[in-house]
Chain A
């Protein structure tokens, strides 16, 4: 199933690129492939044996036997959820792109499908070189998607994005090579733990850029602002989770000693990012700016959970990865829908959109209150667990997190009231419609997933790691 999940979108991408399809058929084919991918994932979810845990649906073919490099894929309990997040968000974004209509549909859809395959590959790869290959393969379509279909400032945004991620990738490549050669294998399951601080820092730097963590987020505001809304949704919803996954799967699991030694500085960076992102989100002048900086804050929080390295923190961060992926994807899509109507995302020119647009108001309000982690929402469950986890590493971290909860309430409410409430803004015309059925069809399933998780967050937290005490002993998880 794992290989199918990787190859299905890649194959579909080839088909979309090669066949001379018209706009509608290319779009429908892509959407069909994305939905089939969701179907395949559901199949995987049902068949994965959570009671047993560990690596399942694995597939291994030797690639270069002398270096012990292989095509090795498979999923753990928590990767099942991340793959699920990927396929669901990608299906929603492809559907939205199809509906909104992008220039050169075939190229666009092909790239989105290629992106889907590579992200699933990142979450499933069990070989360092393969992981690296998928990680890079994921970035290429993103460069093109931002650089060709972005807004007016897209070239600058792409340049920054390329430079930052390239720097990270080179560091990671070096780390991968040194690590693999010194252990005589590149297989992530077999490879031994290492205590090398330099290799650890190489990986951490790469993931910290991708996440991004403060202060390595220079590419973030432009990339999230200039790309089309669905690409921004993928970037902040899914691609950033690849970095968090990397922290969990490689940095923490394979480098227990350095992870322990560097815990305080990494937690500090994450905490600074959490507060910094929240404050900037509170003053950001436009819709996407608020969501982008809140995304920075959330990644800081997730990173704190991972580096707490205890049951609560890890369970919470996996849950929060899925939550935040769904939330920020929905918010970016909604931002796109608002911008489509008002032709601007400036908060000062919006307002009063709730009147006569009940569907938009309901969806945005629901997503917003989940985003600010109102208790009883799944985001609350995730944040609560993460902070309970870092509390055990020092109460100060949790106090910082609690301050951020209050700030989150401030910036989300500011966003909601600036768009929906107060007097009608100059950019909002009476002719601006409520959400169309197609737009509801894209956003409502995402919100429904969030509501379902709110009713039962334990669906993820009980089914992410093996057994009751598994998560804290991270290394044992991956035997």
Chain B
């Protein structure tokens, strides 16, 4: 089992290193195959770990394997160690499985790009980092994986580095995530001071409420930054500058859900800090609404999906913040399936339309690409949570959990239901605009079908597999009747809330109803075009400017730090420090010149100097006596 876990972790790293070192000695296609193969090997390793964990008793399902001491300071030390337990295996399967599918898809999508090798090296590096994040056996290694996914995300968003917008987006993502890393590191410093260790076990220890609150806040800061929740969410839509498979892998299926994993992994500290846990749930609820509203007005196909990702992660935060850990993780898994599917299908659309992403130029694609149309429909239905697709099973139990959390829970529950309506509306707005109606002029001019070679096959097969998963993937758990996911995760994270069965049914019925009415409204407005789309200039502008978060942060942080830097440079560095040094130099020279003038060479001057000195000294001596 341990070998399985190590193979799972290291094979993508090996692929990344080999592709980098091999350079032009291997063909571009080979690099793609190597990266894909390594991810499938990783998946096999994860599967092996899963099977051997299944063979153990519930309480015995946690193994830590230490390679060596990674870092130490006095008596504090953290090992380079992996943890294999139900939670990490769950994540390993999702990450390696979806990762392998998406890397395989990239073979087709990136075909013909001049720097395919670099792309696949980065992809493999990302999968390694993500696996390190979920397998890391202590908090420090978790943070290491956390930072590494940030790095590989930076590299992949900025993959087309001659585009200034891509580079700016990549930097923004990295810096936003660095803020999260910093707050996590501060929480860890506090833990080291209190417990002198960063093992997961210490989180269950007894801490004063201040300490628990501060640690939980620090962790929440990291989670919010990585998972693009309010207020650290602004980087995610910009991150769509990267290639589409990157958006699918990193910014939908895996990395952005790391915050959810983090909260589940460190849940003991959140249980000691209930207010911070409530805050997490509240931020999730706020994000799911705000992102849902913004998604209504976006015109870039990938950005609409990106905002829906933010919104869905809001649901997960809502779930895990309330203590309904298994439901949050279950939604993470189904979301990975259907969101990857949507991105992959969108990727095929973009590919077929010569890299066009503006939905205003699309339309009527149903007739020219029927299979993609069906795949997109499946993904959309799963996203809205319509029976019997995957999202139906996972989203509703999160809402049911909210009903079991007092008044605050009911507020969140209403927000979640409103979000369901929004989800139906924005998802099917996208769907109808892109696929229904007559083919637009742009489509008629630029459309070209997928080729039936490796390029087409690799893309189509991935979409097919994900479509199947989006249909059947949810069936493994149906909260009112059977819940294997919850049982599986129980030893790691015992849920805090347990909704009644009527609460489950009410949530299911209402969210299904609202989701369907969202779809119906979308159909009226965009499908059948029975009504004019309502426009309120102010709201429209606010949504399009994304509630002015970017402008706010610019004014609050970026501009002041540029200003401070300029001020320090003009006000302190140049006049005081650089000038004073130069002045010091010239003063010394002047002083030297002054002293040199005393060297007149005239005997009488010297005699006068000696005589006057003696006289002064004599007076001084007399005076002192």
Residues of chain A whose beta carbon lies under 8 Å from any beta carbon of chain B: 156, 159-160, 163-164, 215, 217-219, 221-222, 276, 279-280, 282-283, 310-313, 315-316, 352, 354-355, 358, 362, 369, 374-376, 380-381, 384-385, 387-389, 391-392, 395, 398-399, 402-403, 405-407, 409-410, 413-414, 417, 420-423, 455-458, 461-462, 468-469, 471-472
Contact between B148 and A218 (Cβ–Cβ < 8 Å)? no
Chain A, residue nearest B77 (CB): A458
When the two chains form their complex, are residues B178 and A352 in contact, meaning their CB atoms are under 8 A apart? no
- Give the distance to chain B from A62, nearest Cβ to Cβ, in Å: 37
Closest A residue to B168 by beta carbon equals A417
Residue interface bits B545-582, CB-to-A below 8 A is 1, else 0: 00000000000000001101110110011001110111
Are the CB atoms of A375 and B144 closer together than 8 Å? yes
Question: By CB atoms of chain A within 10 A, which of B69, B185, B588 has the most?
Answer: B185
CB distance from A323 to the nearest CB of B (A): 12
* Known contacts A280-B569, A395-B186, A395-B190, then 11 further A-B pairs from the complex at CB < 8 Å, ordered by chain A residue: A219-B581, A312-B73, A362-B20, A375-B144, A388-B76, A410-B561, A413-B174, A457-B70, A457-B71, A468-B75, A472-B74
Check if B43 is an interface residue, CB within 8 A of chain A: no
Q: Does B189 contact A (CB under 8 A)?
A: yes
Query: What residues on A are CB-neighbors of B183 within 8 Å?
Result: 402
Q: In the bound complex, do residue B70 and residue A163 qualify as a contact, i.e. CB atoms below 8 Å apart? A: no
Nearest-Cβ distance from residue B159 to partner chain A, whole angstroms: 10
A-B contact pairs, 20 of them (CB 8 A): A156-B582, A159-B585, A218-B577, A218-B580, A283-B562, A312-B74, A315-B74, A352-B162, A375-B181, A385-B71, A388-B188, A399-B186, A405-B178, A405-B181, A406-B182, A410-B175, A420-B161, A461-B72, A462-B69, A471-B74
Task: Check if B192 is an interface residue, CB within 8 A of chain A.
Answer: yes
Which residues on A sit within 8 Å (CB–CB) of B181? 375, 405
Could you tell me the distance between the alpha carbons of A160 and B576 in the complex, rounded to whole angstroms? 14
Main secondary structure of the interface of B (DSSP, over half): helix
The answer to whether B581 and A163 have CB atoms under 8 Å apart is yes
Please provide the chain B residues from 152 to 182 with a CB less than 8 Å away from any CB of chain A in the complex: 154, 158, 161-162, 164, 167, 171, 174-175, 178-179, 181-182
Residues of A within 8 A of B192 (CB): 312, 388, 391
List, in ascending order, chain A residues with CB within 8 A of B23's CB: 358
Residue on B with the closest CB to A158? B585
Shortest beta-carbon contacts, A-B, top 3: A311-B74, A375-B147, A218-B581
Residue in chain A with minimal CB distance to B149 = A375
B584 within 8 A of A: yes
In the complex, the answer to whether A403 meets B182 with C-beta atoms within 8 Å is yes
Assembled-state Cα–Cα distance A380/B181 (Å)? 11
Closest chain A residue to B177, Cβ basis: A409
- Give the residues in chain B near A389, CB-CB below 8 Å: 73
> Which residues of A are found within 8 Å of B154, using beta-carbon distances?
413
When C-beta atoms are compared, the residue in chain B nearest to A411 turns out to be B565
Report B-chain residues with C-beta under 8 Å of the C-beta of A421: 158, 161-162, 167
Given the known interface contacts A283-B569, A406-B179, A417-B161, the answer about A458 and B71 at a Cβ–Cβ threshold of 8 Å is yes
Flag if A469 contacts B75 (CB, 8 Å): yes
Bound: A395/B188 CA distance, A: 12
- The closest CB in chain A to the CB of B588 belongs to A163
Complex CA gap A275/B431 in Å reads 49
Contact between A402 and B72 (Cβ–Cβ < 8 Å)?
A: no
Main secondary structure of the interface of A (DSSP, over half): helix
Q: Is the beta-carbon distance between B178 and A409 smaller than 8 angstroms?
A: yes
Q: Distance in Å from the Cβ of B411 to the closest Cβ of chain A?
A: 33
Whether B72 and A462, one on each chain, are in contact in the complex, defined by CB atoms closer than 8 angstroms, is yes
Contact with B167, one of A422, A469, A471 (Cβ below 8 angstroms): A422
Name B's A-contacting residues (CB within 8 A). 20, 23, 68-77, 80, 118, 132, 140, 143-148, 150-151, 154, 158, 161-162, 164, 167, 171, 174-175, 178-179, 181-183, 185-186, 188-190, 192-193, 561-562, 564-566, 568-569, 572-573, 576-578, 580-582, 584-585, 588
Residue among A164, A313, A417, A458 making CB contact with B581, cutoff 8 Å: A164
Q: Which residues of B contact A422 (CB under 8 A)?
A: 161-162, 164, 167
A456 contacts B70, C-beta separation under 8 Å:
yes
Q: How far is the CA of A276 from the CA of B76 in the complex (A)?
A: 31
B585: min CB distance to chain A, Å: 5
| Chain B residues, CB < 8 A from A376 | 132, 144-145, 147-148
Given A218-B581, A311-B75, A312-B74: A405 touches B193 (CB 8 Å cut-off)? no
* Closest chain B CB from A367 CB (angstroms): 13
**Is A310 within 8 A of B74, CB to CB?**
yes
Q: How far is the CA of A472 from the CA of B196 in the complex (A)?
A: 15
Given A160-B584, A385-B71, A458-B72: A380 and B182 within 8 A (CB)?
Answer: no
Distance in Å: Cβ of B488 to nearest Cβ of chain A: 29
Say yes or no: B190 contacts A354, CB within 8 Å. Answer: no
Q: Which partner residue on chain B sits nearest A470 by CB separation?
A: B74
- Smallest CB gap from A457: residue in B: B71
C-alpha gap A186/B569 in the complex (Å): 43
Nearest Cβ in chain B — how far from A472, in angstroms? 7
The answer to whether A381 and B71 have CB atoms under 8 Å apart is yes
CA distance A403 to B179 in the complex (A): 8
What are the residues of chain A within 8 A of B118 when measuring CB–CB?
Answer: 358
CA distance A417 to B157 in the complex (A): 13
Q: Decide: B74 and A354 in contact? CB cutoff 8 A.
A: no
CA distance A423 to B175 in the complex (A): 22
**Is the pair B582, A160 in contact by a Cβ cutoff of 8 Å?**
yes
Looking at the assembled complex, report how far the CB atom of A342 sits from the nearest CB atom of chain B, in whole angstroms: 17
Closest beta carbon of chain B to A375's beta carbon, Å: 3
Q: How many Å lie between the Cα of A469 and that of B76 in the bound state?
A: 10
B74 contacts across to A, CB distance below 8 A:
310-312, 315, 468-469, 471-472
Closest chain-B Cβ to A463's Cβ sits at a distance in Å of 10
Residues in chain A near residue B140, CB distance under 8 A: 384
Taking a contact as CB atoms under 8 Å apart, the answer to whether A279 and B568 are in contact is yes
Residue from B72, B167, B171 with most neighbouring chain A CB atoms (10 Å): B72
Q: Which of A391, A402, A417, A468 contacts B182 (CB 8 A)?
A: A402
B73 adjacent to A163 (CB under 8 Å): no
User: Min CB distance, B270 to chain A, in Å?
Assistant: 21
Residue of A nearest to B69 (CB): A458
Given A276, A355, A381, which contacts B162 in the complex, CB threshold below 8 Å?
A355
Chain A contacts for B182, CB-based, 8 A: 402-403, 405-406
Q: Is the CB of A380 within 8 A of B144?
A: yes
Q: Which B residue's beta carbon lies closest to that of A399?
A: B186
Asked if A354 and B161 make an inter-chain contact with CB atoms under 8 angstroms apart, the answer reads yes
Which one, A156, A283, A417, A457, contacts B585 given CB within 8 A? Answer: A156
Which of A362, A399, A421, A456 gathers the greatest number of chain B CB atoms within 10 Å?
A421
B115 CB to nearest chain A CB (Å): 9
A354 to B581, CA, bound (A): 38
**A contact residues around B69 at 8 Å (CB):** 458, 462
CA of A381 to CA of B77, assembled, Å: 11
Are A409's CB and B174's CB within 8 A?
yes
When C-beta atoms are compared, the residue in chain A nearest to B23 turns out to be A358
Give the complex CA separation of A352 and B161 in angstroms: 8
Please give the distance in Å from B224's CB to the nearest CB on chain A. Answer: 15
Using Cβ atoms and an 8 Å threshold, which residues of chain B touch A369? 151
Query: Are the C-beta atoms of A461 and B71 separated by less than 8 Å?
Result: yes
- Give, as a whole number of angstroms, the nearest-CB distance from A160 to chain B: 4
A376 to B577, CA, bound (A): 36
Measured between alpha carbons, how far is A439 from B178 in the docked complex, in Å?
Answer: 32
- The answer to whether B143 and A375 touch across the interface, beta carbons within 8 angstroms, is yes
B581 touches A384 (CB 8 A): no
Partner of A279 from B72, B132, B188, B561 at Cβ < 8 Å: B561
Chain A residues within 8 Å of B75, by CB: 311, 468-469
B186 touches A398 (CB 8 A): yes
**Contacting B171 at CB < 8 Å: which of A362, A417, A420, A458?**
A417
- Whether A413 and B171, one on each chain, are in contact in the complex, defined by CB atoms closer than 8 angstroms, is yes
